[in-house]
Amino acid sequence: MKIIVLKFGGTSVGTLDRIVKISKIIISYIKKKYKVIVVTSAMSGVTNELIKKAGKISKNFPNSERDVLLSTGEQMASALIAGKLCDLGFNSRSWMSWQIPIITKGNYSSARIIKIGTDQLKRYLKKGGTPIITGFQGLNKESRLTTLERGGSDASAIMLAKFFKAKRCIIYTDVDGVYTTDPNLTKKAKKIKALSYEEMLEMSSLGAKVMQPASIQDAKLNKVKIDVKSSFTNKAGTQIIGRKKIKDTNIIRGVSFTKNDAKISLLGVKDKPGVAAAIFEPLYKNSINVDMVVQNISSDGKETDLTFTIKSDDLLKTKKLISRNKKIKFKKLIVDKNVSKVSIVGVGMITTPGVTYRMFQALANKKINILVISTSEIKISVLIKSKNLKKSVELLHKEFNLNK
Ligand code: ADP
Ligand code: ASP
Ligand code: MG
């Protein structure tokens, strides 16, 4: 069977008109003799509305019920698409993740797909049916519904492509590919023809929402070929493939950024072995992700300053945990919510010296102060004041020849 997985994101199924349009895209593949597996997100805005409802009705809404609630968004979209395909004369039906089943492990709201049953769906595909599967969700070993992290329909599509050995997985979204930076931030952004899994993983982990990071890990591990395309135009998109097949020689492939960071500085922390661990232990136990960290070397060996970043949504909780922490002593806690992280990404960095210098010099030339730095083999991130975000992205984009 020539199987293809098509995933439609929130905007692509955002209105009934859009659902009619994407039904036609699905039909175009059926006509090309593909067995089509469709994965849908919730209509845009629906998941956020459901999250708000849970928050309004209870401050302690159970995580398990939150996942049941959120999964309804995808259920609605899948029925609408299947209904429209039937209306157009095609054999189609919706499949909830538990009916397949799509098995997940891990916590509610951040589960990962580990297995997908293929028997029923294969029979259905053979008979000429087109299944419309709810993305973003699965079933755990207690037979309860789970959801994947936000944007997780991408992961559903990629894992379906793996388990059904699909020729490709096409991610239909509201931009016509992966760009050198968010095309909604600057017109200078250019579409990238092909990107390695590693580069896409870094770009998305560092803020390029176009693909969910966990989905790219899954794709890399299982060698799933991905195309990212627009459901609004019929232009060629971006391929996400193995590193060896990439021909582009640019050192830096993209500039990513985040807008929802907060910086916390603890000044005058009593310095002794284990102090950093004592600060971060309660954060880790409360699932608060600490991102960038700098600890200043104390001049007298008695006191130190420690700065780190977290997601701004975690700020209140973090402040509480730190003030209640009896294992640490410090003089002052300073919070800055108006910070953003800008990162440059490219595998070429591994073999090219001077990239860090060029990045810092380009920012310095425009008097943009770097607050915190972090690096890995294929990325460099800096924390800056949010007011400098657009300017920084544009100047780094230019510095590393991405404007061409
Ligand atoms: P979907 O609902 O289809 O899953 P998302 O909103 O999750 O779509 O992702 C698409 C969005 O990702 C675009 O509208 C764009 O603003 C954003 N984005 C961020 N960085 C990039 C990038 N480098 N290339 C393309 N899009 C990006
Ligand atoms: N509807 C979910 C979300 O908004 C999953 C997805 O869109 O991929 O995060
Ligand atoms: Mg998405």
Nearest atom of ligand 2 to the alpha carbon of 154: 8
What digits encode the pLDDT tens for the residues 172-202?
Answer: 999 999 999 999 999 999 999 999 999 999 9
Distance 231 CA to ligand 3 centre (A): 13
Are the beta carbons of 310 and 318 closer than 8 angstroms? yes
**Rounded to the nearest whole angstrom, what is the distance from the C-alpha of residue 9 to the centroid of ligand 3?**
6
- Per the CB < 8 A criterion, the answer to whether 73 and 47 are in contact is yes
What's the pLDDT score for residue 404? 84
CA distance 9 to 77: 10
For 125-160, b where at least 16 C-beta lie within 10 A, e where not — what string?
beeebbbbbbbbbbbbeeeebbbbbebbbbbbbbbb
Nearest residue CA, atom 12 of ligand 1?
Answer: 210
Strand 303-311 relative to strand 238-241: parallel, antiparallel, unpaired? unpaired
- pLDDT bin (cut points 50, 70, 90) of residue 211 is very high
- Look at 273 and 143; give whichever has higher pLDDT: 143
Work out the mean pLDDT of the chain and round it to a whole number: 95
Could you read off the pLDDT of 30-74 as tens digits, one per residue? 999 999 999 999 999 999 999 999 999 999 999 999 999 999 999
The alpha carbon of 152 and the centre of ligand 2 are apart by a number of angstroms equal to: 6
Contact at 8 Å (CB) between 157 and 36? Answer: no
The ligand with the least distance to the CA atom of 72 is 2
Polymer length of the chain: 404
Q: Which residues of 18-32 are buried (b: 16+ CB within 10 A; e: fewer)?
A: bbeebbebbbebbee
Q: Give residue 28's pLDDT.
A: 97
* CB distance 70 to 37 below 8 Å: no
pLDDT digits (tens, 9 = 90+) for 310-343: 999 999 999 999 999 999 999 999 999 999 999 9
Q: What is the mean pLDDT of residues 204-220?
A: 97
Q: Name the residue of 47, 70, 110 whose CB sits within 8 Å of the most ligand 2 atoms, as the mutation to test its pocket.
A: 47
Taken in order of first residue, the domains within the chain and their CATH numbers are 3-174 (3.40.1160.10)
Give the tokens for residue 319: 């402040």
| 309 and 386 Cβ atoms separated by less than 8 Å | no
Q: What per-residue confidence (pLDDT) applies to 351?
A: 84
* Average pLDDT of span 285-301: 86
| Ligand 1 site, CB within 6 A | 9-12, 41, 151, 173-175, 178-179, 181-184, 208-210, 254
Closest ligand 2 atom, CA of 44?
4
**What are the beta bridge partners of residue 254?**
345
pTM: 0.94
DSSP 320: H
Residue spans of beta strands (DSSP E) within 283-331: 293-295, 303-311
